[in-house]
Amino acid sequence: MNAPDPIIRLRGIRNQFGSQVVHDNLDLDVKRGEVLGIVGGSGTGKSVLLRTIVGLQTPAAGTIEVLGVELNSASEAKRQAIRKRWGVMFQDGALFSSLTVRENVEVPLRDADIDDETRRALADLKISMSGLPYLAGDKYPSELSGGMRKRAGLARALALDPDIVFLDEPTAGLDPIGAAEFDRLIERLSDALGLTVFMVTHDLDSLQACCDRIAVLAEKKVLVTGTMAEMREVDHPWVHDYFHGPRARAALATAAE
Ligand SMILES: Nc1ncnc2c1ncn2[C@@H]1O[C@H](COP(=O)(O)OP(=O)(O)OP(=O)(O)O)[C@@H](O)[C@H]1O
């Protein structure tokens, strides 16, 4: 069987802020159905890369193809249609504070041609899929813990039954038990829904627990991609230190338990 086309295909991406070049000639393929972890030192442009793919940052050069559509040359209508095929969960959940959790999850569904009751039921379904208690739908973001806010952000990202979800540091700020639960949730959702997950993370436990592949950002590009085991064989100072450091050893030991 031929390998499936990449669901996301980046070629020659350049991002620059003033004289600071963040990405230069960056290429990346994300395969359909995989959970891809994006790692790299602080400031290597992981979040900028995520923002570039979802259209919040316009690159100075390069092409971004999602689901076979080159976004920068596509018509606005085509771009809009592709945008509905993905969901994004930002670090703090990025919820509207004046709306309840259910209303937040309903926001992406507002343009859909469905009645209020169906919209509400769909929102409740995504809330429960994200592991939140049923009553959480009536709460405001300020009434939730950080971990629950992240789950609410995930529920909103899942609102339109996306093909792809983008997660920016989903386990940052969670305690180890909450982080491990979140990893399991991502793994389950990806398996059950065939979701492609693009996850920016610093969390070696997450990489070990739920990523099929890892892409390392360094030297302004995707330096290397591969499995956790393959990363441990890479001869590059940052990659070596990261995947052989004490935290990597702890993550491997936890996974082996
Ligand atoms: N809107 C912006 N204007 C100017 N510089 C920016 C902007 N957004 C990002 N940068 C710069 O681009 C670089 C990459 O930022 P980015 O947030 O993507 O890094 P990161 O790899 O996600 O880092 P971290 O792991 O610390 O979150 C940083 O030096 C940052 O200051």
27-69 pLDDT tens trace: 999 999 999 999 999 999 999 999 999 999 999 999 999 999 9
Report DSSP state, residue 179.
Answer: H
Paired tokens of 199? 């996850």
pLDDT at 256: 67
CA-CA-CA-CA dihedral for 2, 32, 70, 159, to nearest 10: 150
Q: Exposure of 111 by Cβ count < 10 A (0-12 exposed, 13-18 middle, 19+ buried)?
A: exposed
Residue 14: predicted pLDDT:
97
Distance CA 185, CA 191 (A): 10
Nearest CA owner, ligand 1 atom 16: 45
The architecture of the domain spanning 6-85+164-256 is: 3-Layer(aba) Sandwich (3.40)
**What is the pTM (predicted TM-score) of this model?**
0.92
Nearest atom (ligand 1) to Cα of 200: 22
Q: Which two tokens stand for residue 250?
A: 């702890």
Going by alpha carbons, the residue nearest to atom 28 of ligand 1 is: 43
Distance 14 CA to ligand 1 centre (A): 14
Distance 38 CA to ligand 1 centre (A): 14
What's the average model confidence in pLDDT over 168-195? 88
Report the chain's mean pLDDT, rounded to a whole number. 90
Give the per-residue pLDDT at 35: 95
pLDDT at 98: 94
Q: Compute the distance from residue 112 Cα to the ligand 1 centre, in Å.
A: 34
Predicted complex ipTM exceeds 0.90? yes
In which element (H, E) is residue 7 found?
Answer: strand 6-17
Q: Which ligand 1 atom minimizes the distance to the CA of 15?
A: 12
Q: How far apart are CA 61 and CA 25, in angstroms?
A: 8
Domain ranges, ordered by start, for the chain: 6-85+164-256, 97-161
Give the per-residue pLDDT at 3.
45
- Ligand 1 centroid vs 197 CA: distance in angstroms? 21
Which regions of 121-257 does DSSP assign to beta strands (E)?
164-168, 196-200, 213-218, 221-226
Answer whether residue 157 shows pLDDT above 90: yes
The pocket around ligand 1, CB under 6 angstroms, is made up of 17, 22, 40, 42-48
What whole-number percentage of the chain has pLDDT above 70? Answer: 96
User: Above 90 in pLDDT, residue 174?
Assistant: no
Q: How far is the CA of 119 from the centre of ligand 1 (A)?
A: 36
User: From the alpha carbon of 18, which atom of ligand 1 is closest?
Assistant: 4
**C-alpha–C-alpha distance, residues 46 and 216, integer Å:** 9
Q: Tell me how far apart the alpha carbons of residues 175 and 32 are, in angstroms, rounded to a whole number.
A: 30
Predicted local confidence at residue 58, as pLDDT: 93
pLDDT at 90 over 90: no
Instruction: Say what angle helices 237-244 and 246-256 make with each other, to 10 degrees.
Output: 50
Q: Is 61 helix (H, G, I), strand (E, B) or coil?
A: strand
